[in-house]
Homo-oligomer: A and B are copies of this chain.
Amino acid sequence: MSSLVFLDPAYPAGRLADINAPQLPVTLQGVNRGDGVFESMLYTQQAVRKIEAHLARLAVSAEASDLPIPDERSWRAAVDTAVADFDATGGAEEAVVKLVAMRGELDQDPAVCWVTVTPAPRVGMEQRETGVDVLFLDRGYDSKLAERAPWLLMGAKTLSYAVNMAALRYARKHGAHEVIFTSADGVVLEAPTATVLLAQRDGETRRLLTPMLETGILPGTTQSAIFDAAQQDGWELGYGPLRPEDLYQADGVWLVSSVRLLTPVRTLDAKPIRMDAELHEQLSALADSIR
């Protein structure tokens, strides 16, 4: 069973609600305008992973959207209530804890906020093993745009994900599973719901690279945690402006996200990508160790 808890000032631990019942009026700006923010976290082995990093990013997204949201304590209490209910009603080996805050009907209304816990989609777990075929698609933005255009909400995780979803549907209609967006000036950006990671092996040196944040991509909480762990483990780290050639020449390319963890890229635009099995094993162990 899945669980739903609303943040509600009258219920300090959050208000449990029926996830299958109607809950939202159609008049909310969040519903009509995709005007809200969200986070997805992995819940497994009795722990919600990286909750601190996700709450911090939620606050940044909300700030970029001028959307006042409840404090961290309220979110943590609602998460606790939601996962307790989830476990009590069956649980799952891996689950997705989703935080959503959306604008109400009027600008002065408080944000409508909730937490859901649902079993993790099987396909993501399978793709950790099988890998994915990926298309490069143009995101249309210049890689230097983000800083000068705050109204574009680049780097904020909003509910306006129609383009991300359309890109994934486009990929599936064209025989692939996933997408890596590139900028108008040809720089590698991110996947619609994941961060891009690549590894290079150079003699004894192992190097881990990811696109730089200045391109306007979402700061990946899993990428960041893997980087921390990899550095401890002796890897060199780097932040690119990365080009498609860099991915083709890498010793491994992955999509990383909180719920799906580390997904190996098998092909890019139907061309095979090298995958160093040892590096993959090392990185998978690092990803699994994230708390």
Residue A234 lies at the interface, judged by CB distance under 8 Å to chain B? no
Complex interface residues of chain A between 143 and 201 (CB less than 8 A to chain B): 145, 148-153, 158-167, 169-170, 179, 184
How many copies of this chain does the complex contain? 2
Chain B residues whose CB sits within 8 angstroms of the CB of A23 once the complex forms: 22, 24-26
Most buried by B among A162, A163, A166, A179: A162
Instruction: Give the complex CA separation of A69 and B25 in angstroms.
Output: 21
- What distance in Å separates the Cβ of A35 from its nearest Cβ neighbour in chain B? 5
Q: Contact at A159–B32, with CB atoms within 8 Å?
A: yes
- What distance in Å separates the Cβ of A123 from its nearest Cβ neighbour in chain B? 12
Instruction: Give the complex CA separation of A248 and B214 in angstroms.
Output: 34
Instruction: Give the complex CA separation of A2 and B105 in angstroms.
Output: 13
Residue A114 lies at the interface, judged by CB distance under 8 Å to chain B? yes
Q: Contact at A145–B149, with CB atoms within 8 Å?
A: no
Residue A230 lies at the interface, judged by CB distance under 8 Å to chain B? no
Residue A141 lies at the interface, judged by CB distance under 8 Å to chain B? yes
Residue A127 lies at the interface, judged by CB distance under 8 Å to chain B? no
A160 partner, pick from B38, B137, B151, B162, beta carbons under 8 A: B162
Chain B residues whose CB sits within 8 angstroms of the CB of A152 once the complex forms: 138-140, 163, 166
A159 partner, pick from B33, B64, B66, beta carbons under 8 A: B33
Q: Contact at A27–B19, with CB atoms within 8 Å?
A: yes
0/1 string, A108-130, CB within 8 A of B gives 1: 00000010101000000000000
Chain A interface category by residue count: 35 or more
Residue A87 lies at the interface, judged by CB distance under 8 Å to chain B? no
- What distance in Å separates the Cβ of A248 from its nearest Cβ neighbour in chain B? 22
Residue A4 lies at the interface, judged by CB distance under 8 Å to chain B? yes
Q: Contact at B160–A161, with CB atoms within 8 Å?
A: yes
Instruction: Give the complex CA separation of A118 and B164 in angstroms.
Output: 31
Give the residue name and chain of the B residue nearest to A24 (CB). B24
Residue A222 lies at the interface, judged by CB distance under 8 Å to chain B? no
- What distance in Å separates the Cβ of A19 from its nearest Cβ neighbour in chain B? 6
Give the residue name and chain of the B residue nearest to A64 (CB). B166
**Nearest 4 Cβ contacts at the A-B interface:** A34-B34, A160-B160, A160-B162, A33-B161
Task: Name A residues whose Cβ lies closer than 8 Å to a Cβ of B.
Answer: 2, 4, 19-27, 29-36, 38, 64-66, 98, 100, 114, 116, 118, 137-142, 145, 148-153, 158-167, 169-170, 179, 184
Known: A19-B26, A36-B162. 14 other contacts (CB 8 A): A20-B25, A22-B25, A23-B25, A23-B26, A24-B26, A26-B116, A31-B31, A32-B38, A33-B164, A34-B160, A66-B166, A66-B169, A137-B151, A138-B152
